Chains A and B, each alone.
Chain A
Amino acid sequence: EPEVTQTPSHQVTQMGQEVILRCVPISNHLYFYWYRQILGQKVEFLVSFYNNEISEKSEIFDDQFSVERPDGSNFTLKIRSTKLEDSAMYFCASEGRVRGLVYEQYFGPGTRLTVT
């Protein structure tokens, strides 16, 4: 069964450093998302991406964040200058149409980002 994969599973970085989180969505999906979950809190939407551009972003997704689909298969989230409060699980999701207008969104296993 196709699945969303994410690398690395755990990333430790120092405050102020840049990090890139990588995702390989399910191959025939066209819609891509990043979510994050701070320990003990809700899963929060960050950004959605369709047709090589951002379709929606949350207030969390400020200028320090960017997304890219560099080669038609990978989908990346970059944080330019990490802050302590960026420590969280980051989940990538991709979405495909099931029937009509109904879509199902599938999540990857997540990357645990620890900023020290």
Chain B
Amino acid sequence: DAKTTQPTSMDCAEGRAANLPCNHSTISGNEYVYWYRQIHSQGPQYIIHGLKNNETNEMASLIITEDRKSSTLILPHATLRDTAVYYCIVRAPYNQGGKLIFGQGTELSVKP
């Protein structure tokens, strides 16, 4: 089963920041937090991952709390094309198991 808890749905106004929370209170010390998204029925798309430091790439920022029990994915300027289901996934490095376990995710609706 998924080791994360996310809100079922969220709305965001176009051009504003979208902040998607995730709780992973049972995360182990060597487990990473990954974020993926799925637009309609397309294949899941990798967004970002982190261990304990905050991370930023061209798509998003990932803020992980100091105790690592929760994190927030930030889309700084959401567009209509960011409407998707966002999955927060906790995962060990590959030598402990490579599969991704998807939960229900957060359905983000970006509105004009």
Residues of A participating in the B interface, judged by any CB pair closer than 8 Å: 4, 31, 33, 35, 37, 42-45, 48, 50, 55-56, 58, 89, 91, 93, 95, 97, 100-110, 112
Complex CA gap A45/B102 in Å reads: 8
Say whether chain B's binding surface is mostly helix, strand, loop, or mixed.
loop
Contact partner, B42, options A95, A104, A105, A110, Cβ 8 Å: A110
- Closest A residue to B100 by beta carbon equals A105
Contact A45 B99 (CB under 8 A): yes
| 10 tightest Cβ-Cβ pairs between the two chains A and B | A107-B43, A101-B93, A43-B102, A45-B99, A107-B44, A103-B94, A91-B43, A42-B102, A109-B43, A110-B43
Residues of B within 8 A of A (CB): 32, 38, 41-46, 49, 87, 93-95, 97-104
Q: What's the dominant secondary structure at chain A's contact region?
A: strand
Q: List 17 A-B contacts (CB under 8 A).
A: A4-B43, A42-B102, A42-B104, A50-B98, A56-B97, A56-B99, A91-B43, A95-B94, A95-B98, A101-B95, A102-B49, A104-B46, A105-B98, A107-B43, A107-B45, A110-B41, A110-B42
Q: A31-B98, A95-B98 are in contact. Are A105 and B43 (CB under 8 A)?
A: no
Question: What is the minimal beta-carbon distance from B22 to any residue of chain A, in angstroms?
Answer: 16
